[in-house]
Structure 1
Amino acid sequence: DANYRFYVERRMPGGSPHNLEGRQQVKIHYHKLWMQPLLAARWSVLQSVLNIAPTDKVCMVGVGFGWGVDAVIAETDAAVIGIDISQYIADEQQANTEETELRAEVSAVGLDPDTGHGLEVMNFIFDGQPRSNVIVLQEDAKTGQSRTKIRGELGGNPSVVVYEDIIDDDWADQDIIDARNGGNGFGGQQRLIFLYTQTQARTFQNLFDLLNALQGTPSEVISADGQVHLT
């Protein structure tokens, strides 16, 4: 959550208030107002490269609250399910809204979320709806039991498995192999697509070579802007 930081007042009608009275602007983190349009724009580009078909069944791995699932459905009209192992996601996705966290962000800069400009900010950043529009299964696809649950939700094996930019430098090679093998366990006929942000320690080509040294379905690696697509 701390990796995401979005200053919202400059995006409000009229832009930032002229007098901040020495305070910081209100910022949000991993919240819908920021993440939904970001992922919608991303998948508008990626779909033009990946060409996922309306007839595909798609399993997306590491989707958080499923805003990327919303974006893929909108772009492809395919059947899509998201999975994520986070207990936080599982607890919050349908039961709670973002209200408590957003009120805390408004209060943190000295505004009252119930009156004046603080209330204006709250009305801009909070839609009163649950965090998720979709069900995100708390699964990892690494076991037969987990894959059975995913098949049940999709109505069959996925034809496409997308890993949604979940790999970073904290992942060892074996972690990546284990995640890939889970996706490869759906009958061996599906596309395996890794959305990835490269680092100095692991480039796009490094990841592609690691994945495709394994037996089974070949893996694709694509950058978040769609400019790199290794197949």
Structure 2
Amino acid sequence: DANYRFQVERRMPGGGPPPAEGRSPVRLRYHKLLMQPILASMWATLAPILAPNISSTDEVCVVGAGFGWGVDAIIVETGAVNVVGIDISQYIADEQGNTEEAEIRAEISAVGLDPDIGRGADILAFASDGLPRSNVIVLNNDAASGPQRQAIRQALGGNWPSVVISENIIDDSWTDTDIENLRNSMNGFGGQQRLIFVYKGTAARTHQDLFDLLPGTKEVISTDGLVYLS
């Protein structure tokens, strides 16, 4: 969440606050209004690579799914019916069934506006859809143990995942050991599941570096779809 900070008013009709108001703009962090379109765009870009090889009968597990907005996009782009997201975050576990309104109200109040009147109310109406953050299953789970993998299987209707996707969660803070542990968790379902790593890539660890580090059969796809290694 700390990696995201967006000025929500820039996206509203009329843009941000005029300088004469002398206040800071309202900023939101990992919120649906801002992140859902980003993830939808990414998965639409990757669809020509993924969709031909993911069918409606596949059982898909998305690792690092957040509130599941990428899961929504994967369902749209691939036609897969049984898709479950997993993430290790008590915040996500606690908040996925709640709306974002309380957090948005707090951000509006933090810049001196009243979220119930005037400009503050306009921002609230624009930024909050009043719906729960998640409309798909996101488990507080990292697939690292037998009971956790069984929970994923249960969420998929008693079936093991046939496709496991890491949703752009690896960055330069990850060590090689962290990545190897992620891969082992993704590969721990006892079958021939397809392992897909969506990865932005950095100067410190290129897409080829990640591919070479990972043992066995895997796929590494850049977030812009321009790199595909298998």
**TM-score, length of structure 2 as denominator length:** 0.93
Whole-angstrom CA distance in 2 between matches of 1:21 and 1:15: 13
Secondary structure at the aligned position of 2:130 is classed as coil
2:99 corresponds in structure 1 to 97
2:29 corresponds in structure 1 to 29
Query: For 2:191, which of 166, 188, 191 is the aligned residue?
Result: 188
Whole-angstrom CA distance in 1 between matches of 2:6 and 2:169: 20
Secondary structure at the aligned position of 1:193 is classed as strand
Q: Does 1:153 align with 2:155?
A: yes
1:8 corresponds in structure 2 to 8
Matched-pair contact (CA < 8 Å) for 2:17–2:25: no
2:219 corresponds in structure 1 to 220
Whole-angstrom CA distance in 2 between matches of 1:9 and 1:174: 41
Secondary structure at the aligned position of 1:75 is classed as helix
Figure out how many residues of one structure are paired with residues of the other and give that number. Answer: 226
Post-superposition CA distance 1:20-61 (Å, at most 9, x none) = 511122111100000111111111111111222222111000
Residues 20/55 of structure 1: CA separation in 2 closer, same or farther (3 Å cut) = farther
Residues 122/53 of structure 1: CA separation in 2 closer, same or farther (3 Å cut) = same
Post-superposition CA distance 1:166-207 (Å, at most 9, x none) = 111221111111111111112231110011121222111111
Q: Does 1:106 align with 2:108?
A: yes
Q: Which moved more, 1:185-194 or 1:17-26?
A: 17-26
Matched-pair contact (CA < 8 Å) for 2:50–2:78: no
Show structure 1 runs of 4+ deviating over 2 A: 13-20
Whole-angstrom CA distance in 2 between matches of 1:210 and 1:10: 41
**TM superposition shift of 1:14:** 3.0
Whole-angstrom CA distance in 1 between matches of 2:178 and 2:20: 46
In the TM superposition, 1:72-151 aligns within 5 A as 72-78=74-80, 79-94=82-97, 96-151=98-153
Post-superposition CA distance 1:88-125 (Å, at most 9, x none) = 1111111x221121111111222111111110000000
Query: For 1:203, which of 201, 206, 211 is the aligned residue?
Result: 206
Matched AA of 1:132: S
Whole-angstrom CA distance in 1 between matches of 2:99 and 2:150: 30
Unaligned runs of 5+ in 2: none
Matched AA of 1:209: D
Unaligned runs of 5+ in 1: none
Q: Does 1:57 align with 2:59?
A: yes
Q: Does 1:163 align with 2:162?
A: no
Whole-angstrom CA distance in 2 between matches of 1:204 and 1:103: 40
Matched-pair contact (CA < 8 Å) for 2:68–2:136: yes
**TM superposition shift of 1:10:** 2.1
Secondary structure at the aligned position of 2:21 is classed as coil
**TM superposition shift of 1:19:** 5.1
**TM-score, length of structure 1 as denominator length:** 0.93
Identity of aligned residues (%): 65
